Amino acid sequence: MTPNLFTGWTDRHTALFGNHTIKLGHRLAETGLFSEEAIAALIDEYPEDKYNLNSMGPDPRNKVWREGNVAGNSGKQVLQAISKGRMWINLRRVMEVDPRYDALLNEIFAEFEALVPGLHTYRHNLGILVSSPGAQVYYHADIPGQALWQIAGRKRVYLYPNTAPFLEPESIENIVMGTQEEEMPFETWFDAHAEIHDLKPGDMLHWPLNGPHRVVNEDCLNISVTTEHWSNDIRNAYAVNYANGILRNHLGYAPRNRDTSGLSVYPKAALTLAWKKMKLNKASEFVRKIDFHIDPARPNGMQDVAAYLK
């Protein structure tokens, strides 16, 4: 097939997909869905429970980050505040808010599946991330399959191996169980083992499952799209990590088998399902309070407020 959304896709990318990093061109900007005007209009109507607004410090090892609220400002004002502050807004699950993004998301994965024989994906997700000049996303790992699509501005993405010491088994187990945020301890020497990719508008990056990464913006406003997907392999990896977390944290047993395929997956998937049905882990899930509001009139675009629950 001839790709429509990707540019430069070759057999090499088909062979690498899912197990190694691929970097390609894309044409998402041509849809007009990710211009500043289109995103400002989305923010104007965006449901409170579907976005996160965060601010962060400058040190990659000192992970101080805060949760904020747009506080009635227009989308245009929010973008203006982000362009002079040190923040990002993450519009989550955009495909549930506006059907145009749902149609695009379906097209993206139809194209991936047409290009990668045997690939079957589901539970697709599309997010839009607008972030400040110089903003950073701390070292972390995500649970589903991930791709990052750069629309405007430039950023440097550091990708690390998805094995210890970069990704410790305890970390990914706690992340899938929801008892730890996606962030993990980071040492600057990790960078010597990172793949470094500079993304410019029109670049797309997809990396191996759970691969730890961090991102640093250049000195310009950034607009990026994130997509997520699941497959049977990803679901099995999730179930095994979750079950290993139950064994380690609640049953006092240090799991040594991290196979995400083969016979050991099935009892672990059953344990995960049984545990989730009991909802025993709910009380330990992480909650963050809102302690700033967008204020485009202030130099850093934000106003501190007394912390409150969302």
CB of 147 to Fe ion, least distance (A): 10
Q: CA 220, CA 106: separation in Å to the nearest integer? A: 30
Residue 181 binds to Fe ion (criterion: CB under 5 A): no
Q: How many residues bind Fe ion (CB under 5 A)?
A: 1
- Which CB sits closer to Fe ion, 113 or 142? 142
Work out the angle at residue 229's Cα, subtended by the Cα atoms of residues 44 and 51, and round it to the nearest 5 degrees. Answer: 20
- Which CB sits closer to Fe ion, 184 or 271? 184
- Which CB sits closer to Fe ion, 5 or 209? 209
- Which CB sits closer to Fe ion, 90 or 163? 90
- Which CB sits closer to Fe ion, 102 or 142? 142
Work out the angle at residue 169's Cα, subtended by the Cα atoms of residues 166 and 172, and round it to the nearest 5 degrees. Answer: 85
CB of 88 to Fe ion, least distance (A): 12
CB of 225 to Fe ion, least distance (A): 13
CB of 228 to Fe ion, least distance (A): 9
Position closest to Fe ion via CB = 142
**Cβ 246 vs Cβ 269: under 8 Å:** no
CB of 243 to Fe ion, least distance (A): 24
Name the amino acid, one letter, at 111. E
Residues 119-148 that bind Fe ion (CB under 5 A): 142
H-type helices in 120-216, by residue range? 169-177
Report helix, strand or coil for 295.
coil
- Which CB sits closer to Fe ion, 98 or 142? 142
CB of 194 to Fe ion, least distance (A): 14
290-294 and 87-91 strand pairing: unpaired
CB of 141 to Fe ion, least distance (A): 7
Q: Which residue has the tokens 């960078």?
A: 191
Strands, E assignment, 21-174: 22-26, 51-56, 65-69, 87-91, 122-131, 136-140, 145-152, 155-159
Buried-state track 224-253, b at ≥16 Cβ within 10 A, e below 16: bbbbbbbbeebbbbbbbbbbbbbbbbeeee
CB of 92 to Fe ion, least distance (A): 13
Lay out the site mask for Fe ion across 71-110 (x = CB under 5 A, - = otherwise).
----------------------------------------
CA distances from 110 to 107, 113, 117 (A): 5, 5, 11
- Which CB sits closer to Fe ion, 75 or 190? 190
Q: How far apart are the first and last CA of the chain?
A: 46
- Which CB sits closer to Fe ion, 146 or 272? 146
**Closest among 111, 51, 58, 46 to 85, alpha carbons compared:** 58
In the complex, which residues of this chain contact Fe ion (CB under 5 A)?
142
